[in-house]
């Protein structure tokens, strides 16, 4: 079996106010043709940054990266973009489906951007949607589809250009169990039928259990881990091993009756004194044990509350960018949406606080934000229906980095505090998300964007494109 992707000593370091953060630390990895590799780890461990580097969406500070023998880090931007669009497919944690396009349009978009004919791109999109069980919903818009259906459209789009490597960023997160099972079944069939190489980052054991190899990522470092066999069982009960008390030692007589010390014998008062001393010591020991047990229970309860709040923040709360609308004068109106995936469990957030940056000369420059609902520091309940949080900013920079010709590279950082109560009492958890968007420069016409990127006349020019974290 040949190697399709080879990474050696990849590192990515981000500067911070108090030093630096190593997101990826000397990672080396080979992925074989047809192999399924999964990377597990907590949020902030560097999984998404690693995927962005392996997908040539971000450059490492050190190391080498080769796809089918080609050194990706030595390619100019245009050749790299062309190779990435033809040989790699991306299925992101955020569906990133364009809201103004139908399922068929979204699935055909990568083919059109890669220069394929309109007929070829749409025929393949229709075939893929049919193969993934979405043939009857080809004309539906993203907001008319369930979470699982949106992921199927995202998968069809990722497969549009027949990639050799499929990169998945939390493809089953924020899905109900049935939708998650549907996506896992489709991925398993693709792996078996197409011999497609798959690299996935995930929190869940269900997806990792399908992989040929599973790695654990922590503090930017990658280590081979044991492949999970099933989903974890959530239980706070620990099985007790062995009896509570020790058995009576053998050889001790058990038919003797204890006798009191004779009156006047010194052993009587001494025994009484010793007994009293031992009783006091026992009471002190017992009191200490009770206090320790109580403190242990309190600490366990605090940890359990923290675990529940963290689970709400990452599994029950869905937050994503919903829309972007750029005006000719540089004003941009956008929406972030919030959604509670478990109607039976109420929770609240403080915020979100939103910060906006654009990339210029390899650095992130801050963008002043106009007054908006997102900047209001208030507590709100997150409900099952999508709640839109509008925000507004103005962006017409004289110079900016063009990873895609004619598009700003924008980062939106959202920070919110999650609480189980409206009063924000008890254990709180801060969640921070970074969203990456390519936004078309409103000063350019669609024909200028097509010409700069070498796209065919009449091909779709999306107003904005969502990208994975990197």
Class of domain 3-225: alpha beta
User: Would you place residue 268 in the very low, low, confident or very high pLDDT band (cuts 50, 70, 90)?
Assistant: very low
Distance CA 66, CA 51 (A): 14
pTM: 0.54
pLDDT in tens, 404-439: 889 999 999 888 888 777 765 556 777 788 888 999
Residue 277 scores a pLDDT above 60? no
What strand order describes the sheet that includes 70-71? 19-32, 3-16, 62-67, 70-71
Residue 249 scores a pLDDT above 80? no
pLDDT confidence of residue 426: 59
User: Would you place residue 357 in the very low, low, confident or very high pLDDT band (cuts 50, 70, 90)?
Assistant: very high
Q: Give the start-to-end residue ranges of the domains of the chain.
A: 3-225, 315-467
For residues 348 and 419, the answer to whether their CB atoms sit within 8 Å is: yes
User: Would you place residue 146 in the very low, low, confident or very high pLDDT band (cuts 50, 70, 90)?
Assistant: confident
How would DSSP label each residue in 406-443?
TEEEEEEEEEEEEESSTT--S--EEEEEEEEEEEE-TT
Residue with tokens 């399709």: 4
For residues 363 and 375, the answer to whether their CB atoms sit within 8 Å is: no
Residue 311 scores a pLDDT above 70? no
For residues 453 and 464, the answer to whether their CB atoms sit within 8 Å is: no
User: Would you place residue 208 in the very low, low, confident or very high pLDDT band (cuts 50, 70, 90)?
Assistant: confident
Highest mean pLDDT among 100-114, 159-173, 435-449: 435-449
Round to the nearest angstrom and report the end-to-end CA distance of the chain. Answer: 30
User: Would you place residue 114 in the very low, low, confident or very high pLDDT band (cuts 50, 70, 90)?
Assistant: confident
Residue 444 scores a pLDDT above 50? yes
For residues 400 and 407, the answer to whether their CB atoms sit within 8 Å is: no
Distance CA 28, CA 44 (A): 19
Q: 315-467 has which fold?
A: Immunoglobulin-like (2.60.40)
Residue 371 scores a pLDDT above 80? no
Distance CA 164, CA 151 (A): 20
């Amino acid at each position: 079996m040949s190697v399709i992707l080879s990474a050696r000593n990849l590192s990515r370091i981000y500067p911070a106010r108090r030093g630096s953060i190593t997101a990826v630390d000397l990672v080396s990895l080979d992925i074989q043709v047809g192999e399924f590799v999964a990377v597990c780890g907590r949020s902030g461990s560097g999984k998404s940054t690693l995927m962005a580097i392996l997908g040539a969406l971000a450059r490492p500070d050190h190391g080498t990266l080769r796809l089918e023998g080609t050194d990706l880090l030595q390619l100019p931007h245009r050749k790299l973009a062309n190779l990435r669009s033809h040989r790699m497919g991306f299925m992101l944690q955020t569906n990133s489906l364009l809201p103004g396009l139908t399922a068929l349009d979204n699935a055909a978009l990568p083919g059109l951007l890669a220069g394929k004919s309109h007929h070829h791109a749409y025929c393949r999109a229709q075939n893929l949607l049919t193969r993934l069980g979405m043939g009857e919903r080809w004309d539906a818009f993203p907001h008319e589809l369930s979470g699982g259906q949106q992921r199927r459209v995202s998968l069809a789009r990722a497969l549009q250009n027949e990639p050799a490597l499929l990169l998945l960023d939390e493809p089953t997160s924020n899905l109900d169990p049935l939708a998650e099972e549907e996506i896992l079944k489709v991925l398993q069939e693709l792996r078996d039928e197409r011999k497609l190489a798959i690299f996935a980052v995930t929190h869940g054991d269900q997806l990792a259990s399908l992989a040929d190899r599973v790695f654990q990522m922590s503090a930017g470092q990658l280590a081979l881990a044991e492949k999970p066999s099933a989903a974890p069982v959530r239980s706070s009960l620990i099985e007790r091993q062995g009896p509570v008390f020790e058995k009576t030692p053998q050889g001790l007589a058990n038919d003797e009756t204890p006798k009191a010390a004779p009156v006047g014998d010194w052993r009587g008062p001494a025994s009484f004194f010793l007994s009293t001393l031992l009783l006091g010591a026992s009471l002190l020991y017992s009191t200490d044990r009770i206090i320790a047990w109580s403190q242990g229970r309190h600490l366990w309860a605090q940890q359990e509350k923290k675990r529940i709040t963290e689970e709400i923040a990452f599994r029950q709360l869905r937050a994503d960018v919903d829309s972007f609308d750029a005006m000719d004068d540089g004003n941009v109106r956008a929406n972030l949406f919030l959604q509670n995936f478990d109607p039976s469990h109420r929770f609240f957030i403080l915020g979100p606080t939103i910060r906006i940056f654009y990339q210029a000369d390899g650095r992130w420059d801050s963008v002043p934000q106009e007054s908006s609902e997102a900047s209001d520091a208030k507590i709100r309940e997150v409900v099952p229906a999508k709640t839109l949080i509008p925000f507004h900013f103005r962006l017409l920079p004289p110079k900016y980095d063009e990873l895609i010709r004619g598009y700003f590279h924008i980062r939106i950082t959202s920070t919110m505090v999650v609480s189980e109560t409206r009063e924000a009492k008890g254990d709180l958890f801060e969640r921070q998300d970074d969203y990456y968007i390519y936004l078309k420069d409103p000063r350019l016409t669609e024909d200028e964007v097509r010409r700069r990127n070498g796209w065919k006349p009449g091909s779709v020019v999306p107003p904005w494109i969502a990208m994975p974290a990197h």
